Homo-oligomer: A and B are copies of this chain.
Amino acid sequence: MKQFVEDSVEVRVRFSESDAMGVIWHGNYLKFFEDGREKLGEHFGMSYLDISKAGYVVPIVNVEVKYLAPVTFGQKIKVICHLVDAKAAKIIHEYEIWNLATNQISCKGRTEQVFLNQDTKSLQLNYPEFYEKWKKNLPWKQK
């Protein structure tokens, strides 16, 4: 059983994001994950800029993506993003990308981020206080 907070965002894929096979190049999905992550962060008041103001950076340390069906130029997608409750001092998101033109799931993904002190670049083994406090007030659901 996992606790999560959900948000989503619709994205129009760009012509420049397609490749010579006529479909969205697989690496561009990491940009769509970013779109979902930022939308959720802004919605719940914890954007990259908020984290930066608090003195931290949160680099991605792990990415997993499963590609299930292609998206072609001109199609719109929906990025569903879950912030998943984690035991360790990590920010874990899970993603589903839906092709709104076909109503099919196109991709599933997962990213892990860690907290580094912005100045010293030292890894934080516990959640920074501002983040711990923020987490407590989120509208967690269970899956």
Contacts and interface: CB of A to CB of B under 8 A. Distances in A.
Given A19-B18, A25-B16, A74 B60 contact: no
B48 A73 contact: yes
Interface string A61-99: 111111110101110000000000000000000000000
Interface residues of A, number: 37
A135 interface: no
A141 to B, nearest CB: 26
A61 B20 CA distance: 17
Contacts of A12: 35, 38
A121 B72 CA distance: 14
A6 interface: no
Minimum-distance CB pairs A-B, first 6: A27-B30, A18-B20, A26-B60, A63-B65, A20-B22, A16-B25
Interface of A: 12, 14-16, 18-23, 25-28, 30-31, 34-35, 38, 47-49, 57, 59-68, 70, 72-74
